[in-house]
Amino acid sequence: MFNWLYAPLQAILNGLLTGALYALIGMGMALIFGVMRIVNFAHGAFLMMGMYATYVLFQATGVSPYYQFPFAGVLLFFVGYATYMGLLRRIRGQVDFMVILLTMGLALILVDGAQLVFGADYHQINIPLLSKNVSIGSEMSINAPWLVSFAIAMVLVCALYWVVTRTMFGRAARAIAQNPYAAPLMGIDVHRVQAIAFGIGSAVAGIAGALLLPVFYLFPEVGNQFKLKSFVMVVLGGMGSIQGAAIAGLVLGVVESLTSLYWGNEWALAVDFVLFILVLSLKPSGIFGSQRA
């Protein structure tokens, strides 16, 4: 029943909850693309890996993803680190298109690999939390898992922001992005810092995958929709702005949710790209327009 006030409010609420996960994914990309200028088309595949890893662990131990997500994070950190050291480092001097192609190839390998190992079927898990709802007033409610993932995501978002802005490591990563030639002269071990940064960004994607598992279908191509979304968030938020990408994630969640409500689910995806094109045409430096981290 379409209720003119509560329906959009609920949609906004749901949008914020989804948006928190988007924000997490977007921040990971903001670190990789916004700060390091690496166009990582395997970001979605990393999310998928985190999701499958959590699934396997859940099937084996029964531990809820909301407790075991750090494992996905650690796993993807190493995957990311290895990807940088083994592959990306070799083409660092080249034009971005090469990085896009390389990471696309990597994504293909990971996605098809997942299909070979796990099959193309959709998987789902069931945890008791799924059936719990939290009521807000008399007209609105939140599905509990989303609330939990929102909380975890927000904590991680803040933690990531702190790492990038307040630690030496974060400063080193930003320094490299701003001037890759001067940074090593300042004693920064460029490749190690970038590998770690890439690892962190990938870990975040993996954790997002873990958090998604209870509320989403799992299948090899699950990461694809998030891949392009994360670029949209980084551009919307402004290159180099970690917090911008996070806020953009929340915005995207809400906009998608409202679009779903009024125009149907199919257009929700399209709205991401339309927003993207609009921002690129009108204010390419992003809503939070800073070109420096």
Binding site for another protein (CB under 8 A): 33, 37, 39, 87, 90-91, 93-98, 100-102, 104-109, 111-113, 115-116, 178-181, 228, 231-232, 235, 239, 264, 266-267, 269-270, 273-274, 276-277, 280-281, 284-285, 291
- What's the closest the beta carbon of residue 272 comes to another protein, in angstroms? 9
Q: Which is nearer to another protein, 183 or 211 (CB)?
A: 183
Q: Which is nearer to another protein, 131 or 225 (CB)?
A: 225
- What's the closest the beta carbon of residue 55 comes to another protein, in angstroms? 20
From first CA to last CA, the distance across the chain in angstroms is 45
Q: Which is nearer to another protein, 143 or 285 (CB)?
A: 285
Q: How many CB atoms lie within 10 A of CB 288?
A: 17
- What's the closest the beta carbon of residue 35 comes to another protein, in angstroms? 13
Helix (H, G, I), strand (E, B) or coil at 267: helix
- What's the closest the beta carbon of residue 178 comes to another protein, in angstroms? 6
Q: Which is nearer to another protein, 64 or 272 (CB)?
A: 272
CA–CA dist 104, 92 (Å, integer): 16
- What's the closest the beta carbon of residue 126 comes to another protein, in angstroms? 29
Residue 93 tokens read as: 């001097």
As beta bridge partners, residue 134 has 142
CA–CA dist 276, 102 (Å, integer): 24
Q: List Cβ neighbours of 195 (8 Å cut-off, separation of 6 or more).
A: 80, 81, 84, 85, 89
The type of residue at 140 is: M
